[in-house]
Structure 1
Amino acid sequence: MKQKQKGMTLLGFVIVLSVVGFAAYILMKLFPMYSEYYSVRQALKGLAQEPGIATQDPARIQDLFFRRLYISYSENVKKEHVKLRRIDNGWQMDVNYEIRRPLVGNLDVVGKFNASQALTRSGAGE
C-alpha cells in the first residue's frame, strides 16, 4: 500500500511567502509613520509636565516642542502644522500633519495624524 505525502507544494509555499513578504513590506512603510506620531504624542505629554508651561509665550512653547521632536529625529512635523490657542488656564496645542510615502509604483500610503494637548497650570490634560 502506497502512502500519500501530505504537505505544502512549492507553488503554495511561494504564494504564502509572497503574501507574508508583501505584508512585511507594508509594515516597514507604515512603522516609521506611526513611530513619529508616537514621538509627537510623547513630546506633547512631556511639554505638559514642564513647570510653568501655561505662562510661557507661544514662540517659547513651540521651541520647546520642536527641541523634543529633534531628539527623536522627527522630520515631518513643521511649524505650520502646530497651532496654539489660549484656553482658560493655559494653552491648547494642536498638531495636525500628513505623511505621504510611496508604496508600489504609483500607489502611495497617506497617513493623517492629529494630536492635541492642554498645557495648563494644573498639569497635564488631554
Structure 2
Amino acid sequence: MNRKHQSGLTLISFLVVLGVVGFAAFIGMKLFPMYQEYYSVRSSMKGLESEPGVADMDPSRIQDLFFRRLYINYSENVKPKNVKFERTDGGWLMSVKYEVRRPLVGNLDVVGNFDTSQKLTRHGTPD
C-alpha cells in the first residue's frame, strides 16, 4: 500500500508568510513617499541644469525656480535652508540635504537622510 505524501503550506505557515508579506508591504508604503519625493528633488535639479542661462543667475533666482518645480511635485520636506549654492568654474554647484522622519509603529520612526548635488553649468542663452 503506497500512500501519497501531501506537501504544502499548513494554515499556520500560511499565516506567517502572510504576516511577513504584510509587514514588508507596510514598510514599503512608509518608504515609498520618501523616495518619491527624493526623485522629484533629483528631477527638479536636473531640469534646472538645462535652464537657459542658469550659470549666470543669482542663487535666489535659481532657488525660486527649484521650489516652483518642487511645488508642482507636492514636495513638503525640502525647505530653503536645505539648499546651498557654491560657485564653480562654469556656474554653480547646487546641494540639497534634508531629513524625512515618518512614524512607523508606536514610538518607532523611519528616518531618511537625503543628500544630493547637481552642477549647474552654462547651457543655452540667458533670458
TM (norm. structure 2) is 0.92
Unaligned runs of 5+ residues in structure 1 are none
Q: Where does residue 81 of structure 2 map in the other structure?
A: 80
- Give the count of matched residue pairs: 123
Q: Give, in whole Å, the separation in 2 of the partners of 1:4 and 1:114.
A: 56
Alignment of 1:16-55 (within 5 A): 16-55=17-56
2:101 is equivalent to residue 100 of structure 1: yes
- The 3-state SS of whatever aligns with 1:103 is strand
Q: What's the CA shift for 1:122? A: 5.0
* Higher RCO (CA-CA < 8 Å; seq separation 6+): 2
Report runs of 4+ in structure 1 exceeding 3 Å deviation.
1-4
Q: What's the CA shift for 1:5? A: 2.5
Contact 2:50 2:123 (C-alpha < 8 Å) held by counterparts: no
- The 3-state SS of whatever aligns with 1:28 is helix
Identity in percent = 68
Contact 2:54 2:123 (C-alpha < 8 Å) held by counterparts: no
Q: Give, in whole Å, the separation in 1 of the partners of 2:36 and 2:123.
A: 29
Q: Give, in whole Å, the separation in 2 of the partners of 1:106 and 1:50.
A: 44
- Paired AA for residue 96 in structure 1: K
- The 3-state SS of whatever aligns with 2:93 is strand
Cα-Cα RMSD:
1.2
Q: Give, in whole Å, the separation in 2 of the partners of 1:117 and 1:40.
A: 11
- The 3-state SS of whatever aligns with 2:38 is helix
Give per-residue Cα distances to partners, 1:2-52, cap 9 Å, x unaligned: 433321110000000000000010011001101110000000000010000
Unaligned runs of 5+ residues in structure 2 are none
- Paired AA for residue 76 in structure 1: N
- The 3-state SS of whatever aligns with 2:35 is helix
Give per-residue Cα distances to partners, 1:58-95, cap 9 Å, x unaligned: 11100000001011111100000000111122111000
Q: Where does residue 112 of structure 1 map in the other structure?
A: 113
- Paired AA for residue 82 in structure 2: H
